Amino acid sequence: MKLVNKLGLAAALTALPTFALAQDAAPGFDEIGPYIMTTLLFLVGGFLVFWMAAGFAMLEAGLVRSKNVAMQLTKNMALFSLAAIAYWLIGFNLMYPGDGWLIGGWLGPFFSVTSLEPVGLAAGDAALDYASAGSDFFFQLMFVAATASIVSGTVAERIKLWPFLIFVIVLTGVFYPISGSWQWGGGWLSEAGFSDFAGSTIVHSVGGWAALTGAIILGPRLGKYKDGKVFPMLASNLPLATLGTFILWLGWFGFNGGSQLAMGTVGDVTDVSRIFANTNMAAASGAVAALILTQVVFGKVDLTMVLNGALAGLVSITAEPLAPSLFGSLLIGGVGGVIVVFAVPLLDKLKIDDVVGAIPVHLFAGIWGTIAVAFSGSATLGAQITGIVAYGVFTIVASAILWYILKLTMGIRVSEEDEINGLDKAELGMEAYPEFSKG
């Protein structure tokens, strides 16, 4: 027994130097910790933003009429899937070209397919200065579909399925990445001092501009405007729309929190928690502002306005969710809620038919949030206005060209008969609520 113990001790002593050398050769947590934590931030933030796809689907399905619900769900399922492929094939490296600009600061490489790290990559071989390529790609991809979902809701109930999906492919694979590269890819707007933390303009206003252009070219739904009057077309399922709003609210914590883009220090973690709190405050104040204002202006609270008020508050704070205080976030989000209440009837006066109110929420509130960045000192007002105008002009022109090409070649609007009967039957041959009469 003693001999065995002595031999065991000798073996252990012999192994100690080798063990120490192995430890010295492997990266320590101080080196790999920031890489691991930032990668996890992207992955967790990414699946929260992915859940926003469900939020958009539920919100839109609840706000359209019952005869068009299956169509909206089909569009949302398809647009996310197509956006994922287009962003892999073209968009990601077009948006983040690194040193591969075709036109410096303006245009990245086309058809540069995204690739990930090899399987089983050892810690010693990894680039530990940031996060994994897979997590970065996954997180950035989740933002793309949100842009297309904005368009989906605005042009609902009268657009053909396949022309819309072609528009989505080009929007998510080309338009959004090109304009996004100007700021987030280190392009000319970044050099000019423009600031958009998580995408009030880069994501939401771009989707809003594309939606506005499509709504104008497509025209309003049949019967929406007659003899100078507006005839409301009631939502099919307000509980579903409310659920969709809460899902979007939840997903926004990943949208804004993940956009900190780092989780390697105590300061980063503190900033992410601050972003969460500010994001929540802006959503709450946007909802309350719409709640009170609809009571004052219309004599009754309008639930759809309250839902969009919360979303407008979220869009408003997205351009700078870190710098403001909680009180500042309350003011920023509250103004977003006010914008929605006045912008919805303004669009009706202009006979621009936005089925779900996406243009007031994502475009108008996005512009406001981008301007509000200047008040926090994170950018100058001139730089912010330059960015707003640049994204607006580019997206309007590019979207208009594509919408008109689709209109002339395939046609983008369903027939009057199909619109009256509902797109569920006309485009899909199925119904979301077959046991109920259609409204």
Distances in whole angstroms, Cα of residue 21 to Cα of each of 18, 46, 122, 126, 381: 5, 38, 17, 20, 56
**pLDDT at position 333:** 98
| Mean pLDDT (whole number) for 156-171 | 96
Q: Where are the alpha helices (DSSP H) in 299-436?
A: 303-318, 326-349, 358, 365-372, 381-409, 416-421, 423
**Predicted confidence band of residue 213 (pLDDT cuts 50, 70, 90):** very high
Among 63, 87, 88, smallest CA distance to 73 is for: 63
**pLDDT at position 14:** 44
What residues have CB less than 8 Å from 164, skipping those under 6 apart? Answer: 75, 151, 152, 155, 412
**pLDDT at position 3:** 35
Distances in whole angstroms, Cα of residue 59 to Cα of each of 71, 222, 248, 313, 356: 13, 22, 9, 16, 8
Distances in whole angstroms, Cα of residue 375 to Cα of each of 91, 232, 316, 385, 415: 32, 38, 13, 13, 48
Residue 277: φ, ψ to 5°: -65, -45
Kindly report, residue by residue over 316-354, the tens digit of the pLDDT.
999 999 999 999 999 999 999 999 999 999 999 999 999
Is the pLDDT confidence value at 20 over 90? no
Radius of gyration of the CA atoms of the chain, in A: 25
Q: Which residue has the higher pLDDT, 19 or 400?
A: 400
Q: d(Cα 233, Cα 304) in Å, to the nearest integer? A: 12
Q: d(Cα 163, Cα 126) in Å, to the nearest integer? A: 43
Tokens of 281: 């405050």
Q: d(Cα 168, Cα 173) in Å, to the nearest integer? A: 8
Give percent above pLDDT 90 in the chain.
80
Q: d(Cα 76, Cα 146) in Å, to the nearest integer? A: 10
Kindly report, residue by residue over 27-55, the tens digit of the pLDDT.
666 677 888 899 999 999 999 999 999 99
Give percent above pLDDT 70 in the chain.
90
Tokens of 110: 């086309």
Is the pLDDT confidence value at 23 over 70? no
Residue 395: φ, ψ to 5°: -70, -40
**Predicted confidence band of residue 6 (pLDDT cuts 50, 70, 90):** very low
Measured over the CA atoms of residue 346, residue 351, residue 355 and residue 360, the dihedral's sign is negative
What residues have CB less than 8 Å from 8, skipping those under 6 apart? Answer: none
**pLDDT at position 29:** 60
Length of the chain: 439
**Predicted confidence band of residue 121 (pLDDT cuts 50, 70, 90):** low
Kindly report, residue by residue over 177-210, the tens digit of the pLDDT.
999 999 999 999 999 999 999 999 999 999 999 9
Kindly report, residue by residue over 404-430, the tens digit of the pLDDT.
999 999 999 999 999 999 999 999 999
| Mean pLDDT (whole number) for 369-393 | 95
Helix (H, G, I), strand (E, B) or coil at 344: helix
How big is the CA angle at 54 (ends 215 and 318), to the nearest 5 degrees? 70
Which domains occur in the chain, in start order? 30-115+150-428 (1.10.3430.10)
Amino acid at 16: L
Q: d(Cα 429, Cα 432) in Å, to the nearest integer? A: 10
Residue 379: φ, ψ to 5°: -165, 165
Q: d(Cα 146, Cα 140) in Å, to the nearest integer? A: 11
Q: For 54-74, b where at least 16 C-beta lie within 10 A, e where not — what string?
A: bbbbbbbbbbbbbbbbbbbbb
User: Which of 57-66, 171-180, 260-269, 295-304 is predicted with the least confidence, judged by mean pLDDT?
Assistant: 260-269
Assess contact for 313 and 334: CB atoms under 8 A: yes
Residue 188: φ, ψ to 5°: -65, -35
Is the pLDDT confidence value at 117 over 80? no
